[in-house]
Structure 1
């Protein structure tokens, strides 16, 4: 159930954003992941999707998600829900966005998905990074800019997380040393590529078939990084249809050796999962590192 005072706050925020009086008639809890409480609200102007979380535990999480959604929407490559309002009500932060209804897939759904992602990845800037930290899951994702992907990946991603895992006794000294050794090899492993605009958390749980029959993605952890990061993430937890990868490869072929870099790119989300969900991801991380 959604608190009545919170419904009043949401109504006011939406009314201000949409420039029309909004009244919430019903707030129905829906499944939306492990971090946030999520609701479909029925109003006099239609349905909206609402996320709630603890404002003190996750400061700026929804502010960054709001910005990330708008950034990805602005390039007009993939479909994403429109963020509409955000703020704080009592101890809760809230984010209100367009409610996306599920559609029937177009015949070339996977091909369109792969080509659309390649178009998004062509959006670039001078440095790898992003204007300030955001989140992957409940972990802060630091995005200090560097003009080198190996330096960015080592100092913003792998080294901070393996040291955090060590401090929490989830990783031993040997695993830390293996990650440090890999980081020294990164300049030889990754061919130079321009920074690509990434979704940042593109796995099978973060897309649906949108009302237009195409892929609709959500819950981004946006930054400018190496495009193989998004593609490696799609291969975790079941992977995407092979037509997705074939279409992407035809639209913008990956550099030689990409197959050997999948595990390296997956190290970051695997470390995140070990920190969030426990040490059973240790073996997956160790298996990737043994090749280096």
Structure 2
């Protein structure tokens, strides 16, 4: 813990002493711990430094980017670095609270405010990660080109190389991404959480939503909304509030499945199983 303590004290600007670390459940991708320190509770994530040398550096930057919007609450990032062959990220420990009566309305409204933060191009200056999968963010002025080249193509190639999809599915994907310019209307890039499913939010101590584990980039805002619909866990009041504050472009309902292909491919690569059929159903409906 020596390197970790030194990095934490140096980067946070406070002298911090770790009393003990308690391993906690919920880490599918990373080892996660609750740190008891002289300055209160902190949250620690660790992974292999050889395989993922910049994973937490990118997540640290993502949390800072989301925090700077003053919209959705995120855990404050405190330190990142290497220790004993591991890379680590330390953030504040978010205590769970009781849900406010306007929780869902506030959640939807704040996501819409976050999505109004924009830049000239889709993407980011650097790659980052979704889970432990590399997420390419090469900037493009077209969402359709960005989605094809940075999202669907790399994961389709990896899935085929791993033999978790067949040649027919690759052909279906190729047909789909050629049609993306006709599917998506023009819209400015939005700052996205990037991995916006129900496992990546909690009710904070103030009774409002706190989001974490981001895979930040500037993209089409329908991606966050489609991912939220994919695995459940979001009340209809959330979607109604968002739509009231920042209505989606006409025809968004028909694009939900296309947007869900990316998180489904991520889950297919990470966990296999039924995600193959989910991807196939969307492609069959398109083709």
- 1:233 matches 2:227: yes
Residue deviations 1:142-167 (CA, integer Å, cap 9, x gap): 00000000000001111111121111
**Unpaired runs of at least 5, structure 1:** 1-6
* Residue 188 (structure 1) aligned to one of 172, 179, 182: 182
Rounded to whole Å, the distance in 2 between the matches of 1:256 and 1:81 is 34
**Which position in structure 2 is the counterpart of 1:266?**
260
**Which position in structure 2 is the counterpart of 1:8?**
2
Map residues 49-68 of structure 1 onto 2, 5 A cutoff: 49-68=43-62
Residue deviations 1:83-118 (CA, integer Å, cap 9, x gap): 001110121111111011011111100000000000
Deviation at 1:20, TM superposition (A): 3.0
The number of residue pairs the alignment matches comes to 286
- 1:201 matches 2:205: no
Q: TM-score, normalised by structure 1?
A: 0.96
Rounded to whole Å, the distance in 2 between the matches of 1:263 and 1:18 is 42
Rounded to whole Å, the distance in 1 between the matches of 2:39 and 2:233 is 37
* Residue 249 (structure 1) aligned to one of 243, 257, 269: 243
**Which position in structure 1 is the counterpart of 2:105?**
111
Rounded to whole Å, the distance in 2 between the matches of 1:74 and 1:21 is 25
Rounded to whole Å, the distance in 1 between the matches of 2:8 and 2:178 is 49
Deviation at 1:18, TM superposition (A): 3.2
Residue deviations 1:107-132 (CA, integer Å, cap 9, x gap): 10000000000000000000000111
* Residue 79 (structure 2) aligned to one of 66, 75, 85: 85
Map residues 31-180 of structure 1 onto 2, 5 A cutoff: 31-180=25-174
Rounded to whole Å, the distance in 2 between the matches of 1:186 and 1:285 is 16
* Residue 204 (structure 2) aligned to one of 199, 210, 225: 210
Deviation at 1:75, TM superposition (A): 0.5
Rounded to whole Å, the distance in 2 between the matches of 1:163 and 1:128 is 22
Runs of 4+ in 1 over 3 A off after TM superposition: none
Q: Could you say what the CA RMSD is over the residues aligned between the two structures, in angstroms?
A: 1.0
SS in 1 for 2:67: helix
Q: TM-score, normalised by structure 2?
A: 0.97
Asked if structure 2 preserves the Cα contact closer than 8 Å seen for 1:28 and 1:40, the reply is yes
Deviation at 1:32, TM superposition (A): 3.5
C-alpha spacing 1:49/1:175, structure 2 compared with 1 (3 Å): same
